[in-house]
Amino acid sequence: MSAAGALLAAPACAPQTIDARAIPPALSRRLGRVEYEPTWRAMQRFTEGRTPGTPDEIWFLEHPPVFTLGANASRAHLIAPGDIPVVQIDRGGQVTYHGPGQLVVYPLIDLKRLGLGIRDFVTALERAVIGLAAELGIAAEGRRSAPGVYVGGEKLASVGVRVRRNGSYHGLALNVALDLEPFARINPCGYQGLKMTQLAALGGPRSVWECADALEPHLRHALGLPAGGD
């Protein structure tokens, strides 16, 4: 079994008592291209089983083509999904698309331990992408009324999270170099006519994993996490 497969199949962490001062830095994992539903279930198991001493983890990955609907999303925003699977999940927000060429980041974070509220957490994810964009010479911004990161009115990254027992899961999706056509089959994030963009079209890199390496320090800084291990 691959390392990613073993992680996604792992049972929840057993309860234990750990001195918070001994907690190691958040672990970074590169999972490659993995199916959506097993990854979602693995996030749920990790969050359900974590204790106050469980180290945080940040998962960097891609998904095969899939549309995901938030817990209270309207299926009216699915215009013509065609042969792309649709999965209804437990994050907030409406509908979005994941596919090869998009960097997906799942920060599994104990928000209470970091002293972050949900809004602070979402803003930190946005700031990380904005910081990466600035490093690449791209002017990006967040919108308080519509979470995510935008460049010239077009959406570069989407954010959708769930918090349970102080632990976050789901996260952000950064468009790097992918086929944007599937976004025309939905109202992205519930907004009719919203245009999407990607780093490759803005002069940025085309490699998802190059972007993962470049984004990670911005993400750790925005969340207040020290440089981490793997």
The predicted structure's pLDDT at residue 24: 64
Q: Average pLDDT, stretch 160-187?
A: 96
Q: Is 228 within a domain?
A: no
Q: Average pLDDT, stretch 170-177?
A: 98
Q: Is 54 within a domain?
A: yes
Q: Is 102 within a domain?
A: yes
Q: Is 193 within a domain?
A: yes
CA 206, 109, 53: angle at the middle one, nearest 5? 135
The predicted structure's pLDDT at residue 203: 96
Q: How confident is the model at residue 220 (pLDDT cuts 50, 70, 90)?
A: very high
Contact 96/185 with Cβ under 8 angstroms?
no
The DSSP line for 125-174 is HHHHHHHHHHHTT---EE-TTS-SEEETTEEEEEEEEEEETTEEEEEEEE
Number of domains the chain is built from? 1
Q: How confident is the model at residue 92 (pLDDT cuts 50, 70, 90)?
A: confident
Token pair belonging to 115 = 């002293």
The predicted structure's pLDDT at residue 19: 44
The predicted structure's pLDDT at residue 73: 86
Q: Average pLDDT, stretch 200-207?
A: 97
Q: Average pLDDT, stretch 160-173?
A: 96
pLDDT at 58 over 60: yes
Q: Average pLDDT, stretch 37-59?
A: 96
Q: How confident is the model at residue 3 (pLDDT cuts 50, 70, 90)?
A: low
Q: Is 164 within a domain?
A: yes
- CATH of residue 135's domain is 3.30.930.10
Q: Average pLDDT, stretch 163-189?
A: 96
The predicted structure's pLDDT at residue 72: 87
Q: Is 30 within a domain?
A: yes
The predicted structure's pLDDT at residue 20: 45
pLDDT at 221 over 50: yes
Q: Average pLDDT, stretch 138-144?
A: 95
Instruction: Give residue for tokens 């989407």.
Output: 158
The predicted structure's pLDDT at residue 209: 98
Catalytic residue among 8, 26, 34, 189: 189
Whether 189 sits among the annotated catalytic residues: the reply is yes
The parent domain of residue 131 ranges over: 3-13+25-223
Q: Is 111 within a domain?
A: yes
Exposed e or buried b for every residue in 169-192, given b needs 16+ CB within 10 A? bbbbbbbbbbebebbebbbbbbee
Q: Is 63 within a domain?
A: yes
